[in-house]
Amino acid sequence: MQTSFGDLAVVDAHAHFFSYRFFAALAASLPEPPSEEALFDTLGEHLAFEFPPKDPEELAKRWVKELDRHGLARSVLIASVPGDEESVSVAARAFPERFIPYFMLNPRAPDALDRTKRGFRELGMKGLCLFPAMHHFHIWEKEIRPILEEVAASRGVVFVHCGVLKIGVRDKLGLPSLFDLRFANPVDLSGVARSFDTVPFIVPHFGSGFFREFLLVADECANLYTDTSSSNAWASRLPRPLSLAEVFERSLNVLGAERILYGSDSSFFPRGWQKDQFQTQVRVLEELGVTKDQAAGILGGNLARLVS
């Protein structure tokens, strides 16, 4: 992609694959779940989305066109409900040079370890996504350790959503929030990251409101990374609000450019890839005097190294 830093291979570290199975799972959570025939009519009353075909490869083709339109080299695709790893596996196998497959896991589920093994060993997953506030667990609990051991053996990455968690599509459907911030503190990663020091742990959104806590742990643990995704509106709600430039500057001071990953948090069509946020972040990097090599790392090279 042509940027103010030159022609760079941009890799998006954070995009969601809103598959047919994803929407079916959401619909099943409604007080009166619709039939499969009425699925999209029912959801369409609340969501102004372009609904995907049943075949995940067709949705993958839609994403390839979107990447091509904007000049992106590759993107992570996150299976955004537990049990949907098949969808991103199909997409990544159809376009292995374009997509990096991650999957969401509820480690409280009785089949969590088996699903982790299958995800990495059979389905080609590169990343495991954990949402402690959603599934009500601490990542340091002993039951989580075998799962992390499997990720380490598979040379995968662990994406851990800390801080405030909002899922817009759930809000639009009127589904209640069951998220609990008591489980969302990045400090929980301190001992875990040291125990699994060969595993990259990626905390999106700069910790999503737990910025200070994230930086404290990242300063201790060289295998902690962050992604820059979404609007980062949490920064305006701190006791002393921070600008996006201040967030980037403090992160660069603690993590260096090598542990910051550009991400968009793109998810649905027709919105597609969030170009405006990308352009805003590039301008911030320019203002901070980031070099071309540092920008190349943040905008794609760092993630490509982690998942190679």
pTM of the model: 0.97
Per-residue pLDDT band at 279 (split at 50, 70, 90): very high
Per-residue pLDDT band at 176 (split at 50, 70, 90): confident
**Whether the Cβ atoms of residue 226 and residue 14 lie closer than 8 Å to each other:** no
Would you say residue 191 has pLDDT above 90? Answer: yes
Mean per-residue pLDDT, 197-225: 98
Range scoring the smallest mean pLDDT among 46-55, 106-115, 154-163, 288-297: 46-55
Question: One-letter amino acid identity for 80?
Answer: S
Mean pLDDT of the chain: 96
- Answer positive or negative: Cα dihedral of 14, 15, 21, 23: positive
The set of residues, in sequence order, having a beta carbon less than 8 Å from that of 245 and lying 6+ positions away, is 284, 287, 288
Per-residue pLDDT band at 233 (split at 50, 70, 90): very high
C-alpha gyration radius of the chain: 18
pLDDT score at 119: 98
- Six token digits for residue 205: 């959104």
Would you say residue 188 has pLDDT above 90? Answer: yes
Would you say residue 48 has pLDDT above 90? Answer: no
pLDDT tens-digit series, residues 110-123: 999 999 999 999 99
**Whether the Cβ atoms of residue 119 and residue 128 lie closer than 8 Å to each other:** yes
Q: Which domains does the chain have, with CATH numbers?
A: 2-306 (3.20.20.140)
Gap between the Cα atoms of 141 and 65, Å rounded? 42
For the chain, helix, strand, coil in percent to 5 are 45, 15, 40
Range scoring the smallest mean pLDDT among 11-15, 38-42, 146-150: 38-42
Kindly give the interhelix angle for 112-121 and 85-94, rounded to the nearest 10 degrees: 0
Mean per-residue pLDDT, 249-257: 98
**Whether the Cβ atoms of residue 110 and residue 140 lie closer than 8 Å to each other:** no
pLDDT score at 302: 98
Buried b (16+ CB within 10 A) or exposed e, 156-183: bbbbbbbbbbebebeeebeeeeebeeeb
pLDDT score at 142: 96
